[in-house]
Amino acid sequence: MRITGKVEIYGVIGYPIKHSLSPLFQNAAFFWTGIEALYVPFEVSPENLKKALEGLRASGVKGLNVTIPHKEAVLSFADVISPEAKEIGAVNTLKFTRTSVEAYNTDWIGFLKAIQELEDPKGKTVLVLGAGGAAKAVIYSLKKVKAQVLVWNRTPEKIFPLEEKFGVEKIKRPEEALPVADIIVNTTSVGLKEEDPPLFDYSLLEEKHIVVDLIYKDTPLLKEAKKKSCRVQNGFPMLLYQGAESFRIWTGCNPPLEIMKLALKGEFPTGYSRIP
């Protein structure tokens, strides 16, 4: 695509940000739909968040994805907050209009669309491992479809507000929930490194379990689940779907999902690397 002075800028802010895969598929989506826009990473430390947001907005940036560690902090910069972002308490998408900053959360939709590829969680019993920001979006989606949610967290006190807000049930040990769980979702960072000690005894998994890990790779949990013939999913589908919903919010266009999927796999050339 030809880049002219009319190009619109979108991006992702986080700290660190160099590992982000969002530029790969968002740029492919802009290219494919013929929208003259670029999507770039912005590495912004927490102490620079306010200055960065003001500066990006003043420079005419149209929208941003927001990732760790800013998802909660950006709430205080928004003029309009979607009901979902308010309920979850975290934002992953900002849209800058002429008059206001709009804040959204698309993580919950991303998770729901991703898991629905495997199984509809409606009415199912789901064990959620972790109680941080990612867990909140996951729990919000699961409660929306009336799943029964059991939560385990290393620091049990962090589950109290979730019990109150979302009506989840606290579990003392993951093992306790395995006999009743249909679906298991890891929202912690455990498994990012191969040598991380396991969250529970993975040999207790059974074929009936559906196992989802939000980490973008096949973690030891997923590998063990595969050995037991469980249906499994890593974090790529959720990443894709949350990004697709951000694209929809910014542009009002249907996201080109198949193209975004190819790009995420590294199989689609991004727009700005091609000469028209």
**Residues annotated as catalytic (active site), given as ranges:** 71
- Residue 257, classified by CB atoms within 10 Å of its CB into exposed (0-12), middle (13-18) or buried (19+), is middle
Pick from 20, 92, 106, 188 the residue near ligand ATR by CB under 6 A. Answer: 188
Measured CA to CA, the distance from residue 25 to residue 89 in angstroms comes to: 26
| 4 near ligand ATR (CB under 6 A) | no
Collapse the DSSP code of 119 into the 3-class scheme (helix H, G, I; strand E, B; otherwise coil) and give the result: coil
Q: What is the rounded distance in angstroms from the CA atom of residue 270 to the CA atom of residue 26?
A: 9
Q: Which of residues 80-99 bind ligand ATR (CB under 6 A)?
A: none
Assess 193 for contact with ligand ATR (CB under 6 A).
Answer: no
Q: Tokens standing for 161?
A: 């507000």
**Residue (66 or 260) nearer to ligand ATR, CB:** 66
Q: Does residue 134 belong to the site contacting ligand ATR (CB under 6 A)? A: yes
Sheet hosting strand 37-43, strand order edge to edge: 37-43, 8-14, 63-66, 93-96, 101-104, 80-81
Choice between 158 and 231, CB closer to ligand ATR: 158
In the numeric block, the tokens 């982000």 are attached to 20
Using Cβ positions, the residue closest to ligand ATR within the complex turns out to be 132
Nearer to ligand ATR, 185 or 205 (CB): 185
Stretch that binds ligand ATR, among 2-10, 33-41, 48-56, 127-135 (CB under 6 A): 127-135
The residue ranges that bind ligand ATR (CB under 6 A) are 68, 130-135, 153-155, 158, 187-190
